[in-house]
A and B are shown apart, each in its own frame.
Chain A
């Protein structure tokens, strides 16, 4: 039956309003929309007309909630009926740095309660910065018979007991990834709770953030009966000797988190002295990603050399190694695209990276010592070297003690593909250490020359000029992080008036006040959130915003949980976000919603 035939028949009947062809069109649309994955495309589709809205809602299988308080769970389940995958993000990012009080919120419980009945076919849950309890995990385990993937990033509130319930009852579990979570040690042997009858479906298991020891014998048996296992990330309680035993059982791994990568104390028996780690790694021909090295004994590092030529991702950010220890390894990593490392490798180590890793896309250099007057092992020298050697760089996070505008300008010109530029000069208010000038010109060059830039974090001594550049050139910037910067309200005004695509704004300890806040009234409803802590906004200023933008939830609180939210004349922390369902009902006492 052709479409045209249908339409012709209906048309002959003489009716003007013909539901049947619409229904067919809708079916066709649904069949086409199934292939549409990008949520931005889907959002656009849903705006065309009512029937497209319905068709899109019916076919959306992956739902992404960028702020758990922007919409009530029931509204989501009512609109999207056939969802297989849910991603929910909760707390604002500054929670990672202890700037958000413990019991602020972002509870998963109301979400899982609603989904338990609405989404029986749910297969995947991905949470970031949510508060998840063991009970929530139990609900997950009991409610979704087809459950396959659980990914928890920067979450807290659950323990090994909750994990045990998930792994024992979710028989189709393929992926369990715990990334940077805080997991209680309930002393439950969760690794032993995986079903032991027959081969497992496990493809990815990451528990490097779990602080409690694990039952290695159970883990070894689990790995042995998981032929599909590709990603395995161990915690620091797995010594290098135990790692060896796992490696020889799982040569098909593509991603490995190596655990402590140091030997256990009692390593003086003959067996361990002759262990051939190099061969074990050489047998793993598929490894493309390496991480772990939690308590590295540097003499073991060369064991990974056999896999270096294929590595696309290497995370050494827990490994306190120097340049001489890095060089023999990094010089083989020609295909490296993602590299996370500690500044212990110094500028010299970065130069070695720049010399070899021509395909590098993402670099993160973390500080081994966060003190503001520490001797900085990396500086503008390393940054310049990277900019010269790694021309395809797209994303950089760089902690240092000192920097120059010249190096930042050079990077802006050498790496035009930069999408993410995050520079953290640990010494607050520190100027260009060669010229003594503010870092305005450097960051200005970044926003001007890096035409694809969407995420920016600034530091060092910055005047309002820097913000004028950001407002003028940062048209694609969606995320902006500011700390200890700027001179006056004008700085923030430049940003709020100029950055038309700004979605996420986080500011701390900067002299921006009510007048600046007001200049963003036209834009706040288009943003995911605004965070301002230890700035100069007052209660009245925040009230003003709350009154003028009723769809915005304006939260005011103090980091130390004292009620009222004020510190002296100013508000301690302002956190505001748009919401379809009004202020949340679960706000703790110390949070004031205006």
Chain B
């Protein structure tokens, strides 16, 4: 019996009841507290990955949490955190169409390459995966129903629009940034 119960299982059963300070978009595969000295990870976690897990093969699933997993740590103001991202060329032709994505209540922004998606469904899946939230079902008449989150975007004119109203091609050519609003705040956008 004992051999069957690997540390992985132990870990999995404890997870369900564990209290965490986790950001939306964090994966639940690491407890917050690490007290061993051996975890002096020397590999940089790539900031270009879409998910927040570290894919470095030297690190087991018990790798130290990436920065997204602990709110307000390290104690650096948010506009300083975006320095790396700011260096990446945003509008190089053919090299992706990155837009910033913010989610109400989350202190960190993410970046998403719109060119990776071919339609709204794929984009919704991507957003839901990134932020671990549920976005309601879109209907032309009522906007997004059935969830706490509504995806909106800022268009070329600087107006905030509901995602889904215009054809996909028109959307990706005019979308400057995305914001996932809480549905209680998004009342003004739907009919």
B4 partner residues in chain A, CB cutoff 8 A? none
- Given B21, B76, B158, which contacts A370 in the complex, CB threshold below 8 Å? B76
- A416 CB, min distance to chain B CBs, angstroms: 26
B86 partner residues in chain A, CB cutoff 8 A? 295
Complex contact A424–B44 (CB within 8 A): no
A81-89, A272-280, A425-433, A445-453: which lies at the interface? A425-433
- Report the Cα distance A279→B91, complex, angstroms: 33
B37 partner residues in chain A, CB cutoff 8 A? 430-431, 433, 436, 461
Complex contact B43–A373 (CB within 8 A): yes
Given A373-B64, A429-B34, are A98 and B107 neighbors across the interface (CB < 8 Å)?
Answer: yes
Counting CB contacts under 8 A, is A372 at the interface? yes
Given A372-B66, A373-B63, are A318 and B83 neighbors across the interface (CB < 8 Å)?
Answer: yes
Given A94-B72, A374-B45, A375-B43, are A427 and B64 neighbors across the interface (CB < 8 Å)?
Answer: yes
Q: Which of B74-99 contact A (CB under 8 A)?
A: 74-81, 83-84, 86-87
Counting CB contacts under 8 A, is A404 at the interface? no
- A432 CB, min distance to chain B CBs, angstroms: 9
Counting CB contacts under 8 A, is B167 at the interface? no
Closest B residue to A95 by beta carbon equals: B72
A65 partner residues in chain B, CB cutoff 8 A? none
Given A374-B45, A461-B35, are A424 and B84 neighbors across the interface (CB < 8 Å)?
Answer: no
Counting CB contacts under 8 A, is B67 at the interface? yes
Complex contact A373–B78 (CB within 8 A): no
- Given B63, B83, B105, B107, which contacts A320 in the complex, CB threshold below 8 Å? B83
Complex contact B80–A366 (CB within 8 A): yes
- B169 CB, min distance to chain A CBs, angstroms: 25
- A456 CB, min distance to chain B CBs, angstroms: 14
Complex contact B64–A96 (CB within 8 A): no
- Given A317, A368, A372, which contacts B64 in the complex, CB threshold below 8 Å? A372
- Report the Cα distance A402→B73, complex, angstroms: 16
- B23 CB, min distance to chain A CBs, angstroms: 10
Q: What is the size, in residues, of chain B's interface with A at 8 Å between Cβ atoms? A: 40
Counting CB contacts under 8 A, is A358 at the interface? no
- Given B66, B77, B158, which contacts A373 in the complex, CB threshold below 8 Å? B66
Counting CB contacts under 8 A, is B10 at the interface? no
Closest B residue to A96 by beta carbon equals: B77
- B153 CB, min distance to chain A CBs, angstroms: 16
Counting CB contacts under 8 A, is A367 at the interface? yes
Q: Which of A562-577 contact B (CB under 8 A)?
A: 567-568
Given A320-B84, A320-B87, A431-B37, are A99 and B71 neighbors across the interface (CB < 8 Å)?
Answer: yes
Complex contact A402–B40 (CB within 8 A): yes
Chain B, residues 40-77, CB within 8 Å of chain A (1/0): the string is 11111101000000100001000111110011111111
Complex contact A375–B44 (CB within 8 A): yes
Given A430-B40, A483-B75, are A369 and B34 neighbors across the interface (CB < 8 Å)?
Answer: no
- Report the Cα distance A318→B66, complex, angstroms: 22
A342 partner residues in chain B, CB cutoff 8 A? 83
Q: Which of A24-77 contact B (CB under 8 A)?
A: none
Counting CB contacts under 8 A, is B170 at the interface? no
Counting CB contacts under 8 A, is B19 at the interface? yes
- B149 CB, min distance to chain A CBs, angstroms: 15
Dominant SS at the B interface? loop
- Given A295, A399, A436, which contacts B76 in the complex, CB threshold below 8 Å? A399
Counting CB contacts under 8 A, is A220 at the interface? no
Complex contact B47–A97 (CB within 8 A): no
A318 partner residues in chain B, CB cutoff 8 A? 80, 83
Counting CB contacts under 8 A, is A169 at the interface? no
Given A373-B59, A375-B44, are A429 and B35 neighbors across the interface (CB < 8 Å)?
Answer: yes
- B143 CB, min distance to chain A CBs, angstroms: 24
Q: Which of A337-384 contact B (CB under 8 A)?
A: 342, 366-375
A431 partner residues in chain B, CB cutoff 8 A? 37
Counting CB contacts under 8 A, is A180 at the interface? yes
- Given B40, B63, B77, B83, which contacts A180 in the complex, CB threshold below 8 Å? B77
Counting CB contacts under 8 A, is A217 at the interface? no
Counting CB contacts under 8 A, is B33 at the interface? yes
A424 partner residues in chain B, CB cutoff 8 A? 74-75
Q: What is the size, in residues, of chain A's interface with B at 8 Å between Cβ atoms? A: 45
Counting CB contacts under 8 A, is A187 at the interface? yes
Closest B residue to A508 by beta carbon equals: B72
Closest A residue to B106 by beta carbon equals: A98
A427 partner residues in chain B, CB cutoff 8 A? 39-41, 64
Q: Which of B25-39 contact A (CB under 8 A)?
A: 33-35, 37, 39
A320 partner residues in chain B, CB cutoff 8 A? 83-84, 87
Complex contact A375–B67 (CB within 8 A): no
Complex contact B74–A367 (CB within 8 A): yes
A367 partner residues in chain B, CB cutoff 8 A? 74, 76
Of A342, A370, A560, most B-chain CB atoms within 10 Å:
A370
- Report the Cα distance A60→B33, complex, angstroms: 51
- Report the Cα distance A433→B105, complex, angstroms: 36
Of A320, A369, A372, most B-chain CB atoms within 10 Å:
A372
- A150 CB, min distance to chain B CBs, angstroms: 21
Given A99-B72, A399-B76, A427-B40, are A369 and B64 neighbors across the interface (CB < 8 Å)?
Answer: no
B43 partner residues in chain A, CB cutoff 8 A? 373, 375
Tell me the B residues contacting A by CB distance below 8 Å: 19, 21, 33-35, 37, 39-45, 47, 54, 59, 63-67, 70-81, 83-84, 86-87, 105, 107, 158
Would you list 21 pairs from A and B whose C-beta atoms are within 8 A, ordered by A residue? Answer: A94-B72, A96-B75, A97-B76, A320-B83, A320-B87, A342-B83, A367-B76, A369-B84, A370-B74, A371-B47, A372-B41, A375-B42, A402-B40, A427-B39, A430-B37, A430-B40, A433-B37, A484-B73, A508-B72, A559-B21, A568-B19
Given contacts A367-B74, A370-B67, 20 further A-B contacts (CB under 8 A): A94-B75, A96-B75, A97-B71, A97-B76, A97-B107, A98-B71, A187-B158, A295-B86, A318-B80, A368-B84, A372-B41, A424-B74, A426-B74, A427-B64, A428-B73, A484-B73, A559-B21, A559-B71, A560-B105, A568-B19
Give the 6 A-B residue pairs with the shortest CB-CB distance, closest first: A97-B72, A373-B41, A98-B107, A370-B67, A371-B67, A375-B44
